Every structure is written in C-alpha cells, then in structure tokens.
Chain A
Amino acid sequence: MSSSASKQREKRLSELNAGATPDGQVTHLETVAFGPSLAVERFRFGNGLELLFCEDHSAPVIAYHTWFRVGSRHEREGKTGLAHLFEHLMFNEVEGRKAGEFDRKLEEAGAESNASTWLDFTQYNVSIPKDQLPLVVKLESERMSRLVLRDPQVKSEKEVVANERRYRVDDDVEGAVSELLWATAFENHAYRWPTIGWMKDIEGFTTEDCLEFYRTYYAPNNAVLVIVGDVAEAALLKRLSTAYGALPASTLPIEDVRPEPPQLAERRVEVSKPTATEKLVVGYHSPAMGDFDHPALSLLAEVLFSGRASRLHQKLVRELELATEVRAFVGPFRDPGLFELFVSAREGTNAEQLLEVIDAEFARVQAEPISAEEIARAAARLELGLLAGLETVDGKASTLGFYEIVLGRPGAAFERLDTTRRVTASDLLRVARRYLLPRYRSVILVRPDLSAGADDAEAAQ
C-alpha cells in the first residue's frame, strides 16, 4: 500500500473510531501477502475481535467466515462432542428471532451457509450475494452473543447429532476405524476423542452444559472474522464496528492442555467389521503443523501415497494387486497429531501382508534418498491442490481462516508452498528416520465379518 493510501486509511479509521464504542474501535495491524496478487488486511476491534479482510472483485459475492478458537481439544472426558453439538445449536433461536429464522432469512437472501468443527476450531461460513452484506453482519453478530438455548431444541439437536454419528461413524467402517485409531494412539492429549463425541456423551448433554460452553468460548475475543469478496474496506469496517462493537469481551479460560507422552512401543488392535475385505489403518505420531518437520513429512506422504504414480499405489494397487486404495494424511493440527494411512485390501489379502509391503517401502525411504524428480513431482501436486482451492471467495476464506487459527499466519499457505519447494532429499531422510518407526505407531487390523454381532466399534472406549 502506498503511503498516501495508508494515510487515507488512518484518516478513515480515525473518523470511524471517533463515533464508535470502545469495543467497536478498530485498529489496522498489518497487511499480509496472500499469494502473488492478493493481500489480506488484519484489523482488531476494541473487544478483541480480529478481522482478516481480502478485497476481491472477481465475482459479485462475499465469503463471510467466523472462526472460533475452540474445538474438541477444549472438551473434557464425559463431555466429548460438545463443541460439535454446539455448532449445530448455533443455527437455532436467537433473542428476537424464532428457531429456524436464521437459516430461513439467509436462504431467502440467496446465501449458502454451513459450519464445521474439528480438533482445534469451530468455523461458520456464509457466502452471500454482495448486496446482502448488511443481513449477514446482523445475523452473525446477533448469534455471537444472543443465542437462546431451550431444552426442546437441545434434545432435538442431540438426536440429529446422534444420527450424524451413526451415519459417519457407527455405520461407516472407515469412520469407525479412524476413531479407534486416534483413541488407541493417544492416551493423554484431548485429540484422543472424536470431534463428534462418544455416543454416551452426546446422549448425556444438558442445556446447562451448552449454556456454559457458549458463555465460556463464544466471545469476540475468541473469534476471527475472515471476509473475502466484493466489498469496499471502509463500508465493511463501519458496519462491523456498529454490529460487533456492542459485544463485550470475556475472560477466556487457560486451556488445560495435556501433552501426549512419547509412545514407546507399537500398539496393535484387531477388530471385526461388517465389511467385504480387510482394511489396514496405521497412525504414526507426527509433528504439529507449525513444526519445522511438518512440510517435509507431508511431502514424504505425498511421495509415498498420493496419486497413481506414488510409490505405494504403484506397489500395492498396481504391481502386487493387493489393495484397491491407499491413502495417507499428515494431521494439520496445532499440537502433534498422526501420520494416518488407510489401505483397503483386495479379497484374499490380509492386512498383515499390506503392512509388510509398507514396512519395506518405509525401510527404503529411510535408507535411500528420494530422487529430485519425485520431490519436484510431489511439490507440483501440492501446488496444484493449493491453487485449485482458491478459485472461489469461499475457498480463499477457508484457506486464510485455517492457517490463521492453526499457525497464526493467514498467508501461510503460500509460505508453506515455498518451504515445500525447498525440501531436500536429506530432509526426507530425516523425517522418515525420525517419525516412521514402528514404536511410534498404532495399527488397526480390520477383519471382515458379515455375521450378526460382528461389529465391535466401541472397543476402544
């Protein structure tokens, strides 16, 4: 930004703040590059609410995301799934508006709206035609502080979430086994329970639990607005200052975080599931997303498991014809997570055979440097994935919000791409030798059993 533009902003903010409540006064903190052609402006309001704004006139639409720094990691035993249940409840009644009115008004405005909860955050996203900005500002600011929770709504929503759990976990082999893997790999850290929560906890929530959660975590100083789209900065700030400036900050609790102690020996669990073929799911303890090793380990996962040209697809699916599908994923979390891999066996193959082949390939990447060509190929895949996710304003807002919450740097997606391009064969040797060790892993072997009573999904609880 030129110095004259900067001065103009200062003047505008000064005028805005002169008429604003102390909580509604806004400060410009920084300008952050977002790729080669976009910039993100970071603002903070008097009540602690942060705003990341990216002006983008590529279409007459606006993405309006609200990210709260609360996820399933902030729950406790016996109350798992509360962050996710609460995400559902946020679409209910608000003071002065009956239940369902929030969604009805947004849909009438042509908006697309959704939400998600994960280990580290809860986020609410609304995409709107540009002329509907006043409505979404009003509705979102209202539900941040004036949500109404009553027993019938909580009871009904608990049933909806229980049904979601049946759909995504209890009747889904992959969902159930992934949950079992995390519960096996983690003994101390809050990442050991599923975001959707254990069924008995979902059934046990009271309206008071929900109210307490709302009062504790839903405050402007625990939230980040991420707004991308066809709107001018001055008009946006004025509207946000008025709407959110009436919301007081609250005292946030200090998270009672419990680091996971190092795993010293392999953990292995065998389960039967109503599935046609064996499955292998393995999780190696992996670094937090902000760790220096995370980009290298992610690149290694790409070399080994992503795409048809990857080493283990070639070996397991094509050459040996032992599997139908291989996948891996390095958890992108604030705290150390898992390098999680999933393989579906072909009929007649058992999970141990799959593990043997994977072990041999892991031994190879721990012994021999990966070629420059393979590294470049994996980096190109990651670059394509990043760019393809930025076509819409919603994709841009999701990327900004995610990196802000997890790393505290909204533009980190592109920084990370640069880091990935600098990863060397030596880096890959290091992370392969450091993390892909049997003693750091949990292994779930899934046996097919289609007889009644075969499902033992709750084994880990």
Chain B
Amino acid sequence: MSAAASVIRLEDAGGATVLLETSRALPLVSISIGLKTGSLVDAPGKDGSTRLLSRLMRRTAGGLEPQVIDTRIDSLGASLSADVAHSTMIFQATVISRSLNAFVDLLVDVLARPGLATAELERLQRETLAELKDSLDDDRSLARRFFRRRFFGAHPYGRSVSGTPKTVPEISASDVADVFKRSFVRDNLIFAFSGDLDAQRASQIARRISEALPSGPAPVDDTPEPAAVPGRRLIIVDKPERTQTQILIGCLGSHPRDHDHVALLVANTIFGGTFTARMTQEVRSKRGWSYGAYSNMPFDRRRQSFSMWTFPKADDAGPCLKLELDMLHDLREQGVTKAELSWAKRYMIRSHCFAIDTAAKRVGLELDQTLYDLPKDYYAQYLERVQAVTLEQANQAVQNRLSEENLLITVVGTESAMGNAVRDSVSNLASTEVVAFDSAD
C-alpha cells in the first residue's frame, strides 16, 4: 500500500520499482534513485568504500573530467548528491524541468558508466582525509561518532560510513570497482520521481538507467540484530578549551517491525520528541541548562539506539546528566500519563500533514518504506496505529525496550573541567573511559 494515495507505482518501467507523483506547482523535477545497499558492503578494513564510490561516480561519469561534469550540472540548473548510509545509498537530483532531457543523459553516465579513474580516486582519498580532519572541529559530530562506535562495537553498524584516517588510504581502485559491481544491479535500484514530469517520461528515464546496468538481484542484507552491551558505560571524549559539553545517553531502541514500535514512538514524543516534551521542560525551560534537550529513535533494517541529547555548559554537565538519568528512571517506573498520551497522539496525528505536504515528501516516504523493508502498510496505516496506542501499550513498550542498566553515556568536553562531576553523577558504572577527541579510529 502506498504512503500516500497520490503516489503511483509504474508497472511498465522494465521491471524496476518506480514511484511517481506528478506536480506542476513548480518547474522542477526531483529524482531519487535509492539502492538497498550502503556502507555495510564495504570490505573489512576498507570502511568508507561505498561513500568514496558514490562521490567518484559523480566525478567520473561517462569518463568525463570532473570539472566538465560539475560545469554541466550547474549550467543545467541542477543539483546532484549522493547520501550513503549503512544500509542504503540514495542519489538525489533536482533539475529545472526545461533541462530534464540533458540532465538525464548525464545521470545515466553517473549511474551506469562511471569511469572510476584511479587518479581521481586518489585525489578523493586525499580530500576525504582532509575532511575527516576538519570534522574534528564539530563537537556534536564527535559525540555521535564516538557514541556509535562504542554503542555498536564490533557489530557492522559500528563501522564508519565515511571511513577513518586508517581505512580510507587502504581503499584501492579494485575495492571501489567491486562495490560498484555488487551494488549497481537492476534489482537493487528503486526510482522515485516527483514534480514536473508525467508517468511516461518517468518510465522512460527509469528504463534507460536500468537497461544500462547489468541484471541481477539486490545483495542480501544478512546483518545480524545488534545486541545490548551489558552495564552502564561512560566515555569522556576529552577536547581542550570547551566551555560546553555534548552529552549522548543511549540504549537499544526498536524497529518498525516490532509490535510495540509505534507505542514506543508515542512514549518518546512525550519524553523528548518535541519542544514541550518532558526533556525540554525539565532541562531547558525550568533550569536553562541546555539550549536543546531531545530524545530520538532512528530506524534502519535492524534495531538502532534510543538516545537522549543535551549540551550543557561544563559546570552543569554533572547535574544535567544526573537529571536525565533520573528522568529515564522515572519514565520507566512511573510511565506516561493518560493526559500526556492524549496530547502526544493529537500532536502526532495532526502534525503528520507536514510529513506529506509536498509531492517530493510523499514519494520520499514511499521510497523509505521500500528501501528499508518497512511493513508494507507502515505509512498508510501510521495514523491509525498512533490513534490505537493505549496507555498500557505505551508504558509496556517503555518497560520492554528501554534500559537503565545497559546504557552508553558519551560526553564530549574538557575532562579537567567536568570529568569528576560527570563520573559522580552516574551510579553503578561498569566502565569509564577517557579518550582524546582526535583518537577516533
């Protein structure tokens, strides 16, 4: 079933999955081409291969020079980027509709005929290493990186999509070519079109790209379910001269296929999902400790984390962390209230209109549903499922899914300014680790 009735699946596109919603509101066409594989196909020790491939394809389409390609894209009034995640890769293009034909010529070259020149790969590797160095400036990104690495550990989800200073130089031209060969097969691609084009044109474009690729099935995603690591673990990521900290607290979350996933989403909305949720009220509104205070539950094909995020100043890091742990405890012990549940359901149901207020968003939901193997009716039945959640189900989901015992706490900041207070604020710590901010491997 479609995420929105206005999105259609085209049947005459040479076997490829093609989603379309025509909209003549603006002279723009959006094209998303999703692959059901992402960086999890990177060979061991070669983290970052898929992301390098996606960038290299854009730079070497049809054996052209990168400058020629970039110039052509800009001249057409188009944009083209690739977003690589652990389980998926999406090429996202937008083009002014008068340039659609010329842009599609280029897109076919990007997706089916990339040159993958070795010299360009080497240049890209140097660029990537420099970007990794630059990313050390971003404390929030550091917190996420250390959190993910330690949270998933040896599980494939713990690997870096971008690669690391250690793995990027190890990636060879044959590694990249191998990822291309495995990933770019007909049955691994899903096309999502929206905007100023009709079904016939969308089918033609999808068929043209599909037919330029070898036939073959999508690689099987046999990633195991991640398991919770026992105990409360604390990692302090030490960075000099920080006035503030970045705190991430997380445990294993849920998956849309779990029977209680929507109930947990409702509970999360109450706890930290909005500007008036409990976290913002307690941390920001009452105490002024952090500009933002939220919890979230991302999804992938296997379970991801449930995490809480705040960024208090160094002096408040200990008390803020303690408050968050107390709030998590209270959520598990006391649950959410009937009034909170009614409010959250109204919010989620009424605000859903903003998830589907453009053709591109509606097609995007359908693409996500297909790419991530979500239940067939996940978005079509979403509002009914939210409405049906009972108080007992919401609180049971919290009890079943969220853990106070098996928690990872990551704090980025200057250890000498907050380390003791942070350690003292967490009871029953199984392990504490202090690492340098530039030590990410």
**Interface, chain A (partner B; CB < 8 A):** 58-61, 99-100, 103-104, 107-113, 127, 129, 132, 155-164, 166-167, 170-174, 274-277, 307-309, 314, 317-318, 321, 324-325, 344, 346-347, 373, 376-378, 380-381, 383-384, 387-388, 390-393, 450-455
Contact = CB atoms under 8 A, between A and B. Distances in A.
A61 B357 contact: yes
Given A58-B23, A59-B357, A276-B438, 9 more contacts: A158-B288, A167-B311, A321-B127, A324-B134, A346-B133, A380-B75, A384-B95, A452-B240, A453-B241
Contacts of B353: 59-61, 110, 129
Interface stretch (B39-47, B63-71, B143-151): B63-71
Interface string B280-292: 0100111111110
Nearest to B27: A387
17 contacts: A59-B353, A100-B285, A110-B349, A110-B350, A110-B351, A129-B351, A160-B284, A160-B288, A163-B289, A171-B242, A314-B67, A318-B67, A324-B127, A347-B130, A380-B74, A384-B95, A453-B241
Contact of B276 (A104, A162, A307): A104
B70 A129 contact: no
A282 B122 CA distance: 31
A420 B240 CA distance: 46
Interface in B104-134: 123, 126-127, 130-131, 133-134
A346 B96 CA distance: 35
B278 to A, nearest CB: 12
Interface string B410-431: 0000000000000000000000
A156 B354 contact: no
Nearest to B416: A452
A309 B25 CA distance: 29
Interface string B301-337: 0000000000111000000000000000000000000
Given A391-B360, A393-B357, A276 B134 contact: yes
Given A100-B276, A170-B244, A391-B26, A163 B312 contact: yes
Interface residues on B, range: 35 or more
A60 B4 CA distance: 14
B380 interface: no
A307 B347 contact: no
B313 A163 contact: yes
Contacts of B366: none
A276 B288 CA distance: 31
A45 B423 CA distance: 59
Nearest to B287: A156
A380 B77 contact: yes
B351 A377 contact: no
Nearest to A60: B353
A293 B288 CA distance: 44
B172 interface: no
Contacts of B79: 384, 388
B215 interface: no
B358 A59 contact: yes
B127 A317 contact: yes
A269 to B, nearest CB: 19
B123 A112 contact: no
A111 B357 CA distance: 13
Given A373-B75, A387-B26, A392-B357, A107 B275 contact: yes
Contacts of A160: 284, 288, 290-291
A99 B285 contact: yes
Q: Which of A129, A166, A321, A452 has the most CB of B within 10 A?
A: A166
B346 interface: yes
Contact of B358 (A127, A170, A384, A392): A392
A307 B70 contact: yes
Contacts of A277: 130, 133-134
A146 to B, nearest CB: 20
A167 B276 contact: no
Given A157-B288, A380-B75, A384-B78, A109 B350 contact: yes
Nearest to A160: B288
Contacts of A276: 133-134, 136-137, 438
B80 to A, nearest CB: 10
A451 B71 CA distance: 42
B243 interface: yes
A346 B130 contact: yes
Nearest to B25: A58
B8 interface: no
A417 to B, nearest CB: 11
Contact of B240 (A103, A127, A159, A454): A454
A58 B357 CA distance: 8
A325 B127 CA distance: 10
B76 interface: yes
A108 B343 contact: yes
Contacts of B242: 171
Contacts of A318: 66-67, 123
A132 B350 CA distance: 10
Nearest to B26: A387
